[in-house]
Structure 1
Amino acid sequence: METLVISSFLPYMLSLLIIPISLSLFLILRKPNAEGSNLNVPPGSSGWPLVGESIKFALAGPQEFIKERTKKYSPDVFQTSLLGEKMAVFCGAQGNKFLFTNESKLLTSWWPQSMKKALLFPEFVEASLKEVSALKRSFMHDILKPEALKQYIPVMDLMARDHVDSEWAGTEVVKVFPMSKKYTFDLACRLFMSIVDAEHVTRLAKHFTLVTSGMFSVPIDLPGTAYNGAIKGGRLVRKELMKIITARKREMLENESEATARDLLSRMLLVTDENGECMSEMEISNNIIGLLVASYETTSTAVTFVLKYLAELPHIYNKVYEEQMEIAKTKAAGELLTWEDVQKMKYSWNVACESLRLAPPGQGAFREAVTDFTFAGYTIPKGWKTFWMVHTTHKNPKYFADPETFDPSRFQGSGPAPYTFVPFGGGPRMCPGKEYARLEILVFIYNVVTRFKLEKLNPQEKIVFHASPVPMEGLPVRLIPHQT
């Protein structure tokens, strides 16, 4: 079993220094609050004022944090305070099912202020998520359906091929994590906005890294904190995007005959809602940022860990290699992958799913209670936030026998029991980018595995936890080219 440790600790030190001050202010300013005082709310702890248990969560990592509290308080639901909010953490398959199936009835979508302030324009920070265009436009789901994604596969394959040729081939050792991040961000910029200029993409990626590194940190906006970096990064990302959006809009107005949906940005500029209104430039920026978050941080982490397990487990690698080579043998020189090719990668996808179970890039999602309701004998008051986490089921022996063992056969046939394997969430708010991620992961696996065998250089490399699990050294691997 690997060790999970926490890095980037310095940004949290300021929060520790602020605790005595915040405690004094809390005691002075606190007013009696009877809300929920007569209700049987879930057991747990709210931690320190303002910072709650966010620092404990960061230091322990999500898996250990959950394990300790389910054992101490309740295996079904417990109370905590994260990111400045009191919330109930739902656990197990029944907890997942309850939250996924009660969307819009008892619960509504919610993002932490730290995340909204980092990602969105100030005008949208106080709005409910239903008022944010990125979450209410049905076309966002339409453009990520399999039928729409088929056209992306040749582009994904071409870019993966070029990336491997330029960054991997001729090199004895590569660090997989930064390479996968570069590929996924380059691809997102190409597919979403047709940006191919390397300097432009690099600058945007630099700003975006600040956002993803701090948007889930303790929401204290002081110089030196991760949250402060996320706020600055978000401002720079939005500035860059607005330049791109404005330029594209001008271009389409000047050439109306060529105003076609050549990428997602053009389609966003052309689409209208039920009232015939187009999205504003700020709403389009919200959409693109949401897509970048989903396609960059989580997908690059997923790619990294799939390759990590392939480097560690030769018997798994060999089966993936055999499957991928069967496809490669059917392709003429230079011929790109198709939708039909990707559908043949069944074992490879089982391997990817097992990797997502053991090292899920996304940790869960938040909701807000719109009314009082009861779960497992406890009442969740209106206004409380809820949180479901992959870690309550993915490594739970109740749902997965011998959970630390890498076993892709778990996903054969009907696969895991419902609501136990949830890397993409579930219910009406299941991640709409699930299929995009599947295609991107499989296309990248194809381009690496058909070219190289992988050998992990440091078998003891530790995993650190930021917003997602990250190999501490970037996952350096030795590349062994196949004999031709």
Structure 2
Amino acid sequence: MEIFYASMISLLFVVVSFTLHLVFYKSNAPVNGKVPPGKKGWLVIGETLEFLAAARNGHPEKFIFDRMARFSPHVFRTSLILEDVAVFCGSAGNKFLFSNEDRLVRAWRVPSLDKIFHANHLPKPEHNKMKKALSNFFMSEALHRYVPVMNIVTQKHFENEWEDKNEVVTCELTSNLALSLACKVFVSIDEPERVRYLSVPFKSLSRGMFSIPIDLPGTPFRGGINAANFIRKELIRIIKQRKTDLINAKGAPIQDLLSYQLRDTDEDGNKWTDSNIANKITGFMVASHENMSSVCAFVVKYLAEFPEVYQGVYREQTKIANSKGLGEALNWNDLSKMKYSWNVACEVLRVSPPTQGSFREAITDFVYNGYSIPKGWKLYWSAVSTHKNPEYFPEPQKFDPTRFDGKGPAAYTFIPFGGGPHICPGKEYARVQILVFMHHLVRKFKWEKVVPDEKLIVNPFPLPAMGLPIRL
């Protein structure tokens, strides 16, 4: 019965999409010049199904490399989610898109995600100001004080959810840790019951973000919208209480991401509304939860598969631990000593980047590599077009942390956090979380995979299909 309903919903989506396509579609073909080579695929759905199928089979690079070989290694045309899309490939394509933000291109997000996250709630100038203000929190200087906090949360996580267990399902636990850290560092929630209370809507939100965008009762998309609304209401309640506490001189004026935002103003000196703050923090919490739970799970996977890499991380982390006083927490200086561990983390990010790519939109007609790109076309950069390309990383399927020794990869080839003005603002936050996780993981445990040849899927974040069960 569930399969029947899923099939009917999929059919309805195709019918609705086809109707909208016929009503609203306008050809973006330029008057002069030739567009990049490629194909648009099926009417209405284009090549969306092939794109998604490659990801869900664990090989998102197949869609990209097949078309690079057939059409052009620099840029090719396709059609995804009812849009004409030019896929920019290689380091030159990445450099072009990242270097021309707000001049030739601008960030673009799938409309269904805008509906869930209320991304259009603010006009673009105000949205950019708020994003800049929030990004200040993620600068390395501001993160210094949060290393001991993240260390304590991670330490408690291992004590409560890993120790005294024979087997665990890794993805479930890394998801719990990522949410616990986001709750603590962003809004100072550290009670396990409250974190578990929020974990249910977060799971619904995750399912809805990249589901078929049909806003009907019972669909994952409606569930995602409802979950996002629930989280925002909870955050607004926390924001109002925090304001009251600050007025009554309760609590530290600077203690988390929310504190930073409550102190910030726009260029006219006005405070941001509670709704605006809640929207932005919701987005950061979701991004942190989804990306970091995936990366930490793959750290566990590759350390299990490569004992020599595990030993290298273990030696480094043990040396750091032995240099600490009894009960002394990790600090920022300790992270700077984790050079080999970070090389390992970077190789994990290369092989299994949590963000496979992202969209931009052409805001004017322009020419790239001899091809005309019309205004309004969507542009896609793909991390795998460089991460798994032997031109930039010899033997790209080989797991080799030494790639990041010395100066590391060439510019615009290693882009797990994107690049340009829209580079992920949480890049440093991610580095801290990953390294603190690795520190406690290898010092407490050795492990082996329960399923040696577990399939990988990307939907939309890369994950082992069975959640990576391991034996401790």
Residue 294 of structure 2 aligns with which residue? Answer: 301
Residue 374 of structure 1 aligns with which residue? Answer: 367
Residue 333 of structure 1 aligns with which residue? Answer: 326
Quote the Cα distance in structure 1 between the aligned partners of 2:269 and 2:21. Answer: 52
- Given residue 285 of structure 1, which amino acid in structure 2 is its aligned partner? A
CA contact (8 A) 1:106 1:371 kept: yes
1:214 corresponds to 2:225: no
Seq. identity, %:
45
Corresponding residue to 2:271 among 266, 278, 283: 278
- Given residue 139 of structure 2, which amino acid in structure 1 is its aligned partner? K
Residue 469 of structure 1 aligns with which residue? Answer: 462
Q: For 1:93-112, what aligned pairs fall within 5 Å after superposition?
A: 93-112=91-110
1:240 corresponds to 2:240: no
Residue 115 of structure 2 aligns with which residue? Answer: 117
Q: Measured at CA, do residues 184 and 284 of structure 1 come closer, stay the same or move farther in structure 2, by a change above 3 Å?
A: same
Stretches of structure 2 that go unaligned for 5 or more consecutive residues are: none
Residue 161 of structure 2 aligns with which residue? Answer: 167
Alpha-carbon shift at residue 324 of structure 1 (Å):
0.6
1:478 corresponds to 2:461: no
CA contact (8 A) 1:113 1:125 kept: no
Cα offsets for 1:345-382 (capped at 9, x unmatched): 00000000001000001112221111111111111111
- Given residue 399 of structure 1, which amino acid in structure 2 is its aligned partner? Y
- Given residue 381 of structure 2, which amino acid in structure 1 is its aligned partner? W
CA contact (8 A) 2:189 2:195 kept: yes
Match of 2:446, SS? strand
Corresponding residue to 1:229 among 223, 226, 246: 223
CA contact (8 A) 2:317 2:443 kept: yes
Residue 411 of structure 2 aligns with which residue? Answer: 418
Quote the Cα distance in structure 1 between the aligned partners of 2:4 and 2:399. Answer: 34
- Given residue 156 of structure 2, which amino acid in structure 1 is its aligned partner? D
Residue 443 of structure 1 aligns with which residue? Answer: 436
Q: Measured at CA, do residues 32 and 246 of structure 1 come closer, stay the same or move farther in structure 2, by a change above 3 Å?
A: closer
Quote the Cα distance in structure 2 between the aligned partners of 1:82 and 1:12. Answer: 21
CA contact (8 A) 1:217 1:227 kept: yes
Q: For 1:332-371, what aligned pairs fall within 5 Å after superposition?
A: 332-371=325-364
CA-based RMSD of the aligned residues comes to 2.4
- Given residue 111 of structure 2, which amino acid in structure 1 is its aligned partner? Q
The alignment's TM-score, normalised by the length of structure 2, stands at 0.92
Moved more, 165-174 or 21-30: 21-30
Alpha-carbon shift at residue 259 of structure 1 (Å):
6.7
Residue 144 of structure 2 aligns with which residue? Answer: 150
Quote the Cα distance in structure 2 between the aligned partners of 1:374 and 1:217. Answer: 34
Cα offsets for 1:200-233 (capped at 9, x unmatched): 2222222122222332344333445443332222
Cα offsets for 1:122-143 (capped at 9, x unmatched): xx5376654426x644222221
Moved more, 170-179 or 84-93: 84-93
Residue 40 of structure 2 aligns with which residue? Answer: 46
CA contact (8 A) 1:109 1:129 kept: no
Alpha-carbon shift at residue 45 of structure 1 (Å):
3.1
Q: Measured at CA, do residues 236 and 32 of structure 1 come closer, stay the same or move farther in structure 2, by a change above 3 Å?
A: closer
Moved more, 259-268 or 283-292: 259-268
Quote the Cα distance in structure 2 between the aligned partners of 1:126 and 1:220. Answer: 21
Cα offsets for 1:188-209 (capped at 9, x unmatched): 1011111122232222222122
Alpha-carbon shift at residue 249 of structure 1 (Å):
2.4
CA contact (8 A) 2:112 2:213 kept: yes
Moved more, 307-316 or 293-302: 293-302
Match of 1:162, SS? helix
Stretches of structure 1 that go unaligned for 5 or more consecutive residues are: 1-7, 480-484
Alpha-carbon shift at residue 270 of structure 1 (Å):
1.9
